[in-house]
Amino acid sequence: MVERLAKLREHNQLQISPPILALILAVLLFFFGGILNPDFVNLDQAINIVRLAAFLGIVAAGQTIVIISGGEGIDLSIGAVVTLGAILTFRITDGEDSRVLIGLAALLAAGTSIGLINGLGIVLLRIPPLVMTLGMTGVIQGTILVITQGEMVGDTPEIMSDLIARPLIGKLPGVTILWIIVGVGMWVLLERTRLGKNLFAIGTNRTTARLSGVRVPYVVIAAFTLSGLLSAFGGFVLLAFAQTVFLQLGDSYLFPSIAAVVVGGTVLAGGRGSYWGTMAGALVLTVIDSLLRAQQLEEAYQLMVLGLVLVALTSVYGREQKLRQ
């Protein structure tokens, strides 16, 4: 039954490809920016947009997994986990290149643990995902305050900036190469592993998936555990770019991480989507953000436009839950 659900999903993807549509939209918006501002369209601007989209895309990887798994799953703790990952790296490495792997291991362990707790709370205590992850956000923020006492002590290792933030191949920064690697890894996970097929199965219909032999609780726990791990890694990558940390570092990525998933065609009801779509969605949002900044609009208006984009697209994709029922 799981295989039949996977084939049905592949058949539907042949009819229309939201990632391609989102990518076309990103390109059109980019050249539209040239109409508004002739200096907007150039190679350096394109590279900068891809670089900024890469940070959002990496942070949104875990959100993609959670939303595909369905069950009204949205991870609201992503922003806090991103901040925690960056702060742990900042403090543990203290600017020493030799401590980068130790810092990376520590933040991945922390992110995985947080995701595991989210998953266990949702499965064992039957706490709704939105409530569980929102509560975990408060716990993480409180923990950060206890650890740091409001003082950001530490430094960013130079090697992180060299490998991630600065040009690595020609003018392409290292984060774009890393983003491609993450994209391939996510494709393998979602399309070529049993866990990936089970994620789509429980997202489409959990009762049918359970009757087909899928261990739904374990898959849900795995989805949120991976989300925590990938979000913490996003904090590591973001630190390499920002070179500093503050208490709200990851908060600005929560809303866009959901928007990127939806704009890329992943259905909020679960069961349909791809990380390629999330990557394209991240490009669309970054181009829009760059256009708004080029027009020197205030941040409040930028948030309003992004909110309207999300509402418009979710009103279309959200209806597919009724079609499947």
Token pair recorded at residue 118:
């989210």
Beta strands in 87-231 (DSSP E): 167-169, 172-173
Contact predicate 271/14, CB 8 Å: no
| CA neighbor of 163 nearest in space, from 211, 105, 79, 97 | 97
| CA neighbor of 55 nearest in space, from 161, 163, 177, 179 | 179
Contact predicate 79/253, CB 8 Å: yes
pLDDT at 323: 40
Enumerate the H helices of 243-295 as residue ranges: 254-263, 275-294
List the chain pLDDT tens, one digit each, 325 residues. Answer: 555 545 555 554 445 588 888 899 899 989 988 888 888 889 899 999 999 999 999 999 999 999 999 988 899 999 999 999 999 999 999 999 999 999 999 999 999 999 999 999 999 999 999 999 999 999 999 999 988 887 888 899 999 999 998 888 888 899 999 999 999 999 999 999 999 999 999 999 999 999 999 999 999 999 999 999 999 999 999 999 988 898 889 998 998 899 899 889 898 888 999 999 999 999 999 998 888 888 777 778 777 877 787 677 666 654 544 444 4
Q: Identify the H or E element spanning 3.
A: helix 2-15
Domains of the chain are: 2-324 (1.10.3470)
Give the largest Cα separation in the chain, rounded. 58
pLDDT at 225: 98
Token pair recorded at residue 271:
């069961």
DSSP sequence for 77-119: THHHHHHHHHHHHHHHHTT-GGGHHHHHHHHHHHHHHHHHHHH
Q: Identify the H or E element spanning 173.
A: strand 172-173
pLDDT at 125: 95
Contact predicate 193/36, CB 8 Å: no
CB under 8 Å to 232, separation ≥6 — which residues?
A: 81, 82, 84, 85, 88, 107, 108, 110, 111, 112, 114
Q: Identify the H or E element spanning 167.
A: strand 167-169
